[in-house]
Structure 1
Amino acid sequence: MVACTYPWENISDPVMAETRACLQAIIMAKDIGFQDICIEGDALTIIRKLNSADEDRSCISNLIKEIKGRGYNFRSLSFKHVPKEANKVAHAMAKE
């Protein structure tokens, strides 16, 4: 398992921030060489979009497409919703 933080500027929308964090997790997992990954997040809307076969048409659609498109890099890739309370360490890192 891996955890990290990445500084971003000028992201005022929490949905965009969560989606970019998911993309960064995918990139990091590939760089490390992981083959079977499960990305966990507390943003249910994003997790639903990533697990949906439907084409996303929201303001984060480009990021959703990019994340899904990077799935070919892995033997298995899944997205799971977890409540914020279930991972206080991740929430603390995000606030940082």
Structure 2
Amino acid sequence: MKTERSLHQAVTHLNIADPFTAEAYAGLQAIKLGIRLGVNKLTVLGDSKTVIKKCQSLFMDKSVIGAIITDTQSLKKGFQEIEFIFVPKEQNFYAHTIAKESLRSGESFYLEKEIPETVWRTVENLWPYRPD
């Protein structure tokens, strides 16, 4: 039996047209990471209500991101439990800081229960104490 883990992944991609598409692709990448790691339960957080609703839906999506959503929906079957949760961008600060650091360094990586020191330094400029 697999235990619950907190995972973060930063993947750099070229040729993504807009933030809306990037958010949809990030959800797909989260699911692929969960499959590779063999987790049974997955929670995907995102700050686009539209993308989260499309991922939750059981219907075929015909929008610009339809192919990404279709791939996401087809991979959901690989989990005993999967949920997609909207979180406002302000509450998703770490994810955005990690993404910016990945873009700056040009490196792709994933994290398990750790946040890189460069992200901590960026956060410390805004907050004097590390959050729990």
Residue 54 in structure 1 maps to residue 37 in structure 2: no
State, as a whole percentage, how many aligned pairs show the same letter: 35
Match of 2:85 in 1: 80
Match of 1:13 in 2: 18
SS for the counterpart of 2:83 is: strand
Q: 1:42 aligned to 47, 67, 78, which one?
A: 47
Structure 1: runs of 5 or more not aligned: none
Residue by residue, what CA displacement relative to the aligned partner does 1:3-45 show, whole Å, maximum 9, x if unpaired? 1210101113111111111111100011111101110100111
Structure 2: runs of 5 or more not aligned: 1-5, 102-132
AA matched with 1:13: D
Residue 70 in structure 1 maps to residue 75 in structure 2: yes
AA matched with 2:35: K
Give the count of matched residue pairs.
Answer: 96
TM-score by length of 2: 0.69
Give the alignment's Cα RMSD to 1 decimal.
Answer: 1.1
Match of 1:28 in 2: 33
Report the alpha carbon displacement of residue 50 of structure 1 after superposing the two structures with TM. 1.1
